[in-house]
A = this chain, B = another copy of it.
Amino acid sequence: MVNVGIVGASGYTGGELLRLLLSRQDISVTLATSRKHNGEYVFRVHPNLKSITTLKFSNPSIDNIAKSCDYVFLAVPHGSAVNLVPKLLEVGLKVIDLSADFRLKDPKDYEKWYKFKHPFPDLLEKAVYGLPELHFDEIRKASLVANPGCTSTATILSLAPLVKNNLIDAERIIVDVKIGSSGVGGSPSIFSHHPERTYVVRPYQVASHRHTAEVEQELKRISNKNVKIGMTPHAVDIVRGILSTSYGFTNEKIQLSQIWHAYREAYNGRKFIRLVKDVQGLEKLPDPKYVVGSNFCDIGFELDERFGRIIAFSAIDNLMKGASGQAVQNLNIMLGLDETTGLLIPSLHPV
């Protein structure tokens, strides 16, 4: 039995971690912390867990965590858990951090993108970027895993094979992302106020989205090329789901079969990647509607020869493959288990 703790269990990603872990026979959730809801039943904040558990939120303290957990998920906003990590590692805990605090390798990138002076730059080298389809072996041996951002997960997975096989110009990639409301976290604001949030197609952080840094970092590492992407998110009227649409300019004449080959070679045997480019059926190209609640990443593409570009689509559930599902996938790998353990759940259809 593996004892697992969740720091920041009252948010949506914390709730998803509870939903996924509580049904596991091999895992015991010994700790679910929340300063704000300390002492409260978790189902009061996550009603879907009523009659599934009588677990209560507790206070996040180092010895509380160290005493009761072998592994701990940090599901708190950026910059709030960064000071916890060194202490947790010191007492021998394995940490999966869902925040951006340890995703970037170069401390200067934190200053540039997060206006944040990283207190433990040496830990950045030790941290493993938690994208199993690219870093499986490193995650297996890691004690600190930095869980990727949701938009970056979708974007990296659809672009990596194209960049690696030199099918597109890596220094001029346009990424147009559509993202659901649960991707922006749970704290209410005028922008998440229902009358203002319904019915929108709202561009935001159009030229400065912080996930750009980790996408460029990961695509550089896999291709040893200089990579430049322009990412522009839009909030759309769904709760869960991301569709990332990337536009890459083709270097020379490309055959469709080369693209199929690049994706098949990259993701052969990866159970959570589904290639969706199908002239039949309800889902002809990736659509977040068909992954809601599952850990799947649907990837599809089209070759526009007239214009000279490849259009790559990638659909995930931002709370699952974009956060908590991927975090549990990483935990499975760290535990030496099959990465799909407890995660090969079909999504709800229709939703």
> Please, how many angstroms separate the alpha-carbon atoms of A43 and B274 in the complex?
12
**A115 interface residue per 8 A CB criterion:** no
**A211 interface residue per 8 A CB criterion:** no
Q: Which of A214-222, A248-256, A275-283 contacts B (4 or more CB under 8 A)?
A: A275-283
Contact string, A51-89, partner B, CB cutoff 8 A, digits 1/0?
110000000000000000000000000000000000000
Contact string, A247-291, partner B, CB cutoff 8 A, digits 1/0?
000000000000000000000000100101010111100010011
Q: Give chain A interface residues in 10-44, CB to chain B under 8 Å.
A: 12, 15, 19, 22-23, 40-41, 43-44
In angstroms, how far is the closest chain B Cβ from the Cβ of A45? 6
Contact partner of A52 (CB less than 8 A), chosen from B239, B282, B346, is B346
**Complex contact B47–A292 (CB within 8 A):** no
**Complex contact B50–A274 (CB within 8 A):** yes
In angstroms, how far is the closest chain B Cβ from the Cβ of A25? 13
**Complex contact B351–A50 (CB within 8 A):** no
State the interface size on chain A (CB cutoff 8 A).
43
**A140 interface residue per 8 A CB criterion:** no
**Complex contact A290–B349 (CB within 8 A):** no
**A46 interface residue per 8 A CB criterion:** yes
**Complex contact A274–B240 (CB within 8 A):** no
Interface SS, A side: loop
User: Chain B residues with Cβ under 8 A from A110's Cβ?
Assistant: none
Contact string, A289-323, partner B, CB cutoff 8 A, digits 1/0?
01111101000000000000000000000000000
**Complex contact B50–A240 (CB within 8 A):** no
User: Chain B residues with Cβ under 8 A from A44's Cβ?
Assistant: 278, 280-282
**Complex contact A51–B240 (CB within 8 A):** no
**Complex contact B348–A47 (CB within 8 A):** no
**A166 interface residue per 8 A CB criterion:** no
User: Chain B residues with Cβ under 8 A from A240's Cβ?
Assistant: 348, 350-351
**Complex contact B280–A349 (CB within 8 A):** no
**Complex contact A43–B281 (CB within 8 A):** yes
